[in-house]
Amino acid sequence: MNNQKPKKKSSALLVVFIVLITNFITFLFITSFGISFGNRSVIAVDNAYTAKKVNKLLYLYDKLNDQYITPLDKDALWEKVYAGLFEATDDPYTMYLDPASFHSYKEDLTGNYSGIGVRIAPGEDDLITVVTVFRDSPADKAGIRTGDKVIIIAGEDATTWTVDEGASKMRGEPGTVVEITVLRAEDKINFTLTRAQLSVEAVEGTVLPGNIGYIYISEFSANAADQFTSLLADQLSMGIESLIIDLRNNPGGDVNETLKIADRILGDTMIIYTKNNQGKKQEFHSSADESLQMPIVVLVNEYTASASEILAVSLKDNQAATLIGTNTYGKGIIQTFHGMMDGSGYKITVEKYFSPSGQNIHDFGVKPHLVVPLPEGVSYIYGKVVFDQDTQLQEAIKYLTK
């Protein structure tokens, strides 16, 4: 009996020790990985680093709301927090989109939206630059021109804004008014515009003398590939013997639409390949179902960007077309976008794309076979240079008829 008593005592001490250790570990887990918001709730996160940083954010949020001299808009504070998280990447294409901006972004992909009727891109000076004015749009009727620099939108300085931010501010419900200021040469010009519902035709074309088909693709919005295929079929039935594809001032759009158009033109070959942040490679191939067997020229310029550069470089690398114009913009990265329950969303750069030969497009662009700049001071009609002044188009016609 005397030999068993110490064992019972030791067992009891062991149980107490295990309970204490368990409680201590639980305490450490909660304090390390739990985020307290005052005394109201606890949020679980998956690591101590995140818990520490978010605890600090919530502490600062409480202090700001408690001590600031005037009441603050709490929703506005949080919107800035979300936006700042994405801005810290220093990637202008990775961004948080508030509900209004996300709605506008989704509209842009369809080609149907309410706004003033311009297509914009970042200029060489990084200012928001008008590259196309849509026919009969509010901007067209007011006298906005290709090349105008948008510097003020709705009373706010837009000189540091991204194109997405500028587009979102210029859009809104039909019938609502927005005031903008543009810089034209040295002059600042104010416009008061009433937004309207717009439907942008992404693909248009004609048949030029010499049986040359001409197809202008303004953007790769929804159904752009179907529009291209249909128009091409019409032109083929009219007996075209060569083709000009005009990608000038095309900011890109849905990469899937680009791949479909490339598939219609190319035979069984690689269009592009991509790599993600882990170096995983994914190849995109066209099928052997059909290809376009005729001389092709692709017109490009400094505003040919993103998805339009994919089409241009894939045709160039596969020796399916001759590129004429000036060096393209140089956006060789791909974003995915996602919506959230409250109507907001976000875009994240997830891949970099490369030409079939391995050319990195990002920040470099695509160099045309024949470099042909436009003369200074050319005139534009709805985003396209007046024919008599369009040295790039004339060079393309000359090349195909020589």
Alpha carbons 261 and 116: distance in angstroms, whole number: 29
Q: Clarify whether 226 is annotated catalytic.
A: no
Q: How far is CA 371 from CA 41, 128, 311, 359, in A?
A: 63, 25, 18, 19
Of residues 117, 134, 126, the one with CA closest to residue 183: 126
Of residues 307, 302, 299, 311, the one with CA closest to residue 208: 299
Of residues 347, 345, 338, the one with CA closest to residue 79: 345
Strands 177-184 and 187-194: antiparallel
Q: Clarify whether 268 is annotated catalytic.
A: no
| Catalytic residue (one of 137, 317, 344, 390) | 317
Q: Clarify whether 331 is annotated catalytic.
A: yes
| Catalytic residue (one of 306, 308, 314, 355) | 306
DSSP per-residue string spanning 237-276: HTT--EEEEE-TT---B-HHHHHHHHHHHS-SSEEEEEE-
**Helix 74-87 vs helix 48-67: crossing angle, to nearest 10:** 140
* CB-based contacts of 184-192 (< 8 A; 24+ apart in sequence): 184/145, 184/147, 184/148, 184/149, 188/151, 189/148, 191/139, 191/142, 191/143, 191/144
| Catalytic residue (one of 169, 316, 331, 347) | 331
Residues with active-site annotation: 306, 317, 331
